């Protein structure tokens, strides 16, 4: 049972880990319209990780919310075509 609990904790800790290279950067926590985000910034790169459940109706606006979270947390505008990802994770570079 201890092994199973330890494994579950390791998986959960991995959910909020940034892409390699961004783990040396700054971490910000922010919330927009009730959705929580972790923003990682290192040099001109940024990664946004969404937390919690997202309803199907919210999927279309999540990428915009993630860009807003990155800009709010870092104070930097994102490159207009520099982002890639989905409704759970967004990777981009600064403008």
Q: What is the pLDDT of residue 24?
A: 84
Q: How confident is the model at residue 1 (pLDDT cuts 50, 70, 90)?
A: low
The answer, as to whether pTM is greater than 0.85, is: no
Q: State how many domains the chain has.
A: 1
pLDDT number for residue 51:
92
25-76 per-position pLDDT tens digit: 899 999 998 999 999 999 888 999 999 888 888 888 888 899 899 999 999 8
**Domain containing 54: what range?**
2-93
Sign of the torsion angle spanned by Cα atoms 30, 16, 89, 50: negative
């Amino acid at each position: 049972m201890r092994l199973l609990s330890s494994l579950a904790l390791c998986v959960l800790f991995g959910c909020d880990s940034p892409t390699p290279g961004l783990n040396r950067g700054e971490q910000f926590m922010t919330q927009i319209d009730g959705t929580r985000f972790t923003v990682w910034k290192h040099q001109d790169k940024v990664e946004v990780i969404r937390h919690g459940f997202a309803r199907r109706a919210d999927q279309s606006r999540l990428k915009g919310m993630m860009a807003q979270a990155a800009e709010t947390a870092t104070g930097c505008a994102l490159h207009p075509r520099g982002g890639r990802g989905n409704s759970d994770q967004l990777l981009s570079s600064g403008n």
